[in-house]
Structure 1
Amino acid sequence: MLNLDISKVIAVWGKAPLKVNPYQCLPLRYPKSSCRLCVENCPTTAIEIKEDSISVIDDKCTGCGICYNLCPTGVFEMTNFTADAFVEYPQDFKEKMIYVECFKVPHKYSLPQSLRLPCLAYITPSLLLKLISKGAGEIMIRDAGICEACESRCGDRIAKDTISKTQELLKDIGLKQKVSVIIEGISINNLDYEGNRLKDYKDDPELSRREIFSMFKKETKRGIGGLINKEKPLNIKGKKRLKKVLAKEREEILNALKEVIADKTGDEAQHLYGNNPMFSSVNIADGCNMCQLCCFFCPTDALTVEDTEKGQGILFKTATCIGCKLCIEVCPKDVLTLKEKEFLFYDIINQSNTTLVWFDKNVCEYCGRVFTKTTYDNLCDICLKEKEI
């Protein structure tokens, strides 16, 4: 399989193989957000988050994909890799054992018919679910024991965490497929370097020059397009345009779940329960004053306001909650909590809503204004404040 790393081709421009979507960055949506997953886990400290912008230092970025894997809101997209192309490469692997390894493994030490990607950190739950939906019988992720010698350093750790969460999900669904890690090491003495970095063996030696040139053209167009179509860094004025965007990874997880659960019918499909850290649950305790800040800052549509003639409420959608905890951080009353909770897969694939809190609408007995009643008083907030004064 040919996976050209377009970042090597356009290195003279100083561009990393990343597209950055700043409007999806939590600290830029809300400055007090504690999320720094990308900064804290980047092995080369290539990511910087400032008050009004997020940027990648091109000369430092190795294209390892760790930020891409960990970011809950999908700020980062890799321009040198697509999951769809990766899973479509095998013509037929139904019921077969699939091996996955990284580009750093030299071809002469590669496992037969293995699928290769830039780094093990590129392995996401949706990628594994896609392989299973295509019919893979078992997926074996190869740990070649070379991550410590690589500039990315922790691709194996990121992959193992992904595998653990995905395996739990498969168990809940009742699928027989397994995803695991095999330890088949390579001596560091047998590795090649390009400068201070391990060499990438990404080109398939069996491809003809014509096939390589054709693939090169496609990858170049896709890579450059990803670099050009960047959004401007979010600034204070951009606060008016807080977008509700579901990360591509979560979209693909939901689509893949629909496919793998498609064979289950009737009561089995409607009573299939799960409990997985990928799907969290929000709870609102007493004390909510319906300020709606949690809904306003939520990066997806997991928290929304329902407004009717009878009252107002806050709805929650487990399927699109990414567990970012921003709702907890913005709540002025400190009444929101996030926890793992048993859920129905039927509700996940249908993206069902549940009502977290509800307040009836009343007419203020003093001024006649219609308001959402959050206390036992029959006075609106304005009249209550005047009464206190």
Structure 2
Amino acid sequence: MLTKYLVKKIMSERHAIVKGQYCLNVRNKKEKCRKCIEICPVEAIKQKETIIVIDKNSCNGCGICNVVCPSQALELSGLSKKIDNSKLDKKAILIGCQEHNEQMDIMFSCLNGIHAESIAALLLKLKEKDIYFNVIECKNCNIESDSFILENALKEAKKFIDSLKITINMELIYKKEHLPIYDETKLTRRELLSLITKKSGEITQDITNHMFIDSKEGNLNHREGLLNAIENLGEAIDENTLINESLFTTWDVNLNCDGCSFCQAICPWNSWQIEENEDQLVIKHSARTCRSCELCFKLCPNKAIERASCRLYYLQQDIIKREIHLISCSRCFTKYILKDNGVEVCPSCARSQIRRFV
């Protein structure tokens, strides 16, 4: 009972934090995003003008908000960077929430609060194991009354892993009689006292530090964890492999593009880069940093951005999406993109000419 109390106390000290620079409400004033507000089971998230505010005292640290956030602007605080692999040596790994900590190998505040990218990282880390998710009590949970969010995240993670042609042995457990036989690890009194005297952020046994991450702030970072897991696969996966778009997105740029740089300005994660290189504009995109929020796709003034297929090596480098030739204006010598109208002066000089004749 004391161990269970201790773990619950650790979980209760965690809360969601919002990184405003990544929030879509700051980037898109026309269409407000309220997904985190609507999903929060304890109404701890409010909106003040364009800013999302989280009441730390009300937040229960379940993490569901960070699962639904389209731009990954939400994180969970207080996660340790350390990893304890002592319970990962056996074949069957049982994953559950804090309510089942006496029987779980890996625990989370709430299973519905695990992001699909973190699930994919976890499954890749444990790919040689038999992995079980204990959702027996999810239907009676006072946080979220079913495991639908978890199951959807598992589907997205599995689509990605399947595209890598990696087989994962995974199962959801809905009934107690289907639980695998659990060889419980006993804590000595000395070990338990050692846990109690440590700061909660440093405790590494049976809590969500098993996310296999290394965030500078010690917070849960889905993308870092998944990229690390992919890189640890090494040469086992062909870098030209087409990967499922469930977790990573890339885009093509069509001929409508006029190099306006709107995509670069609006992207929360700076995934678009537009560089002037001698007599051309080079437009690059990073699938590694893109969070698939679709803001660029929806708001591009020229409808120049289209969804494209993604290959594994796109996660290692920026990919050139288009190169646009530049010419010099015959009046001011500024470099600009020649359009189909045949006007051989830059837009600024063209407007000046029009004003003179009006």
How far has the Cα of 1:252 moved from its partner? 1.7
Q: Which amino acid aligns with 2:350?
A: L
1:360 to 325, 330, 335: 325
Whether 2:290 is the aligned partner of 1:321: answer: yes
How far has the Cα of 1:36 moved from its partner? 2.6
Counterparts of 2:266 and 2:296, CA distance in 1: 7
Secondary structure of the residue aligned to 2:251 is strand
Counterparts of 1:56 and 1:310, CA distance in 2: 48
Q: Is the 8 A contact 2:157 2:246 kept in 1?
A: no
Counterparts of 2:310 and 2:105, CA distance in 1: 35
Q: Report the counterpart of residue 93 of structure 2 in structure 1.
A: 98
Q: Which amino acid aligns with 1:92?
A: D
Q: Which amino acid aligns with 2:92?
A: M
Secondary structure of the residue aligned to 2:283 is strand
Q: Is the 8 A contact 1:6 1:220 kept in 2?
A: yes
Secondary structure of the residue aligned to 1:270 is coil
Q: Report the counterpart of residue 251 of structure 1 in structure 2.
A: 224
Counterparts of 1:83 and 1:130, CA distance in 2: 15
Counterparts of 1:343 and 1:70, CA distance in 2: 22
Q: Pairwise mapping of residues 1-389 of structure 1 onto structure 2 (< 5 A)?
A: 3-6=7-10, 8=12, 17-82=15-80, 85=83, 88-93=85-90, 96-105=91-100, 107=102, 110=103, 114-124=105-115, 125-134=117-126, 136-144=128-136, 146-154=137-145, 156-184=147-175, 206-208=186-188, 210-220=190-200, 248-260=221-233, 262-264=234-236, 269-337=238-306, 339=307, 341-348=308-315, 350-355=316-321, 357-375=322-340, 376-389=342-355
Counterparts of 1:106 and 1:88, CA distance in 2: 16
Counterparts of 2:120 and 2:87, CA distance in 1: 14
How far has the Cα of 1:89 moved from its partner? 4.6
Give the 3 Å change call, closer, same or farther, for CA 290–374 of structure 1 in structure 2.
Answer: farther
Q: Which amino acid aligns with 1:132?
A: L
Q: Is the 8 A contact 2:273 2:283 kept in 1?
A: yes
Bigger CA drift: 71-80 or 172-181? 71-80
Encode CA deviations 1:125-176: one digit per residue, 9 max, x unaligned: 33442453355422121211x3343221156222111211121222111112
Q: Is the 8 A contact 1:4 1:80 kept in 2?
A: no
Q: Is the 8 A contact 2:16 2:56 kept in 1?
A: no
Counterparts of 1:42 and 1:288, CA distance in 2: 39
Counterparts of 1:184 and 1:83, CA distance in 2: 33
Q: Is the 8 A contact 2:261 2:274 kept in 1?
A: yes
Q: Which amino acid aligns with 2:17?
A: K
| Alignment TM-score, normalising by the size of structure 1 | 0.73
Counterparts of 1:319 and 1:155, CA distance in 2: 32
Q: Is the 8 A contact 1:270 1:346 kept in 2?
A: yes
Q: Which amino acid aligns with 1:35?
A: C
Q: Is the 8 A contact 2:65 2:113 kept in 1?
A: no
Give the 3 Å change call, closer, same or farther, for CA 290–79 of structure 1 in structure 2.
Answer: same
Q: Which amino acid aligns with 2:142?
A: E
How far has the Cα of 1:275 moved from its partner? 2.1
Aligned residues: 327
Q: Structure 2 stretches of 5 or more lacking a match?
A: 178-183, 204-219
How far has the Cα of 1:35 moved from its partner? 3.0
Counterparts of 1:335 and 1:88, CA distance in 2: 48
Counterparts of 2:23 and 2:275, CA distance in 1: 26
Counterparts of 1:217 and 1:378, CA distance in 2: 75
Encode CA deviations 1:217-258: one digit per residue, 9 max, x unaligned: 5444569xxxxxxxxxxxxxxxxxxxxxxx921122111111
Counterparts of 1:379 and 1:75, CA distance in 2: 42
Secondary structure of the residue aligned to 1:161 is helix
Give the 3 Å change call, closer, same or farther, for CA 150–59 of structure 1 in structure 2.
Answer: farther
Q: Is the 8 A contact 1:33 1:329 kept in 2?
A: no
Give the 3 Å change call, closer, same or farther, for CA 352–366 of structure 1 in structure 2.
Answer: closer
Q: Is the 8 A contact 1:361 1:373 kept in 2?
A: yes
Q: Is the 8 A contact 1:103 1:118 kept in 2?
A: yes
Q: Is the 8 A contact 1:31 1:51 kept in 2?
A: no
Encode CA deviations 1:277-334: one digit per residue, 9 max, x unaligned: 2122323333323221210121223211121111113211222221111213442334
Give the 3 Å change call, closer, same or farther, for CA 212–71 of structure 1 in structure 2.
Answer: farther
Secondary structure of the residue aligned to 1:324 is coil
Counterparts of 2:127 and 2:245, CA distance in 1: 23
How far has the Cα of 1:100 moved from its partner? 0.8
Encode CA deviations 1:14-53: one digit per residue, 9 max, x unaligned: xx62333222222123333543321222123221122242
Secondary structure of the residue aligned to 1:126 is helix
Q: Is the 8 A contact 2:96 2:111 kept in 1?
A: yes
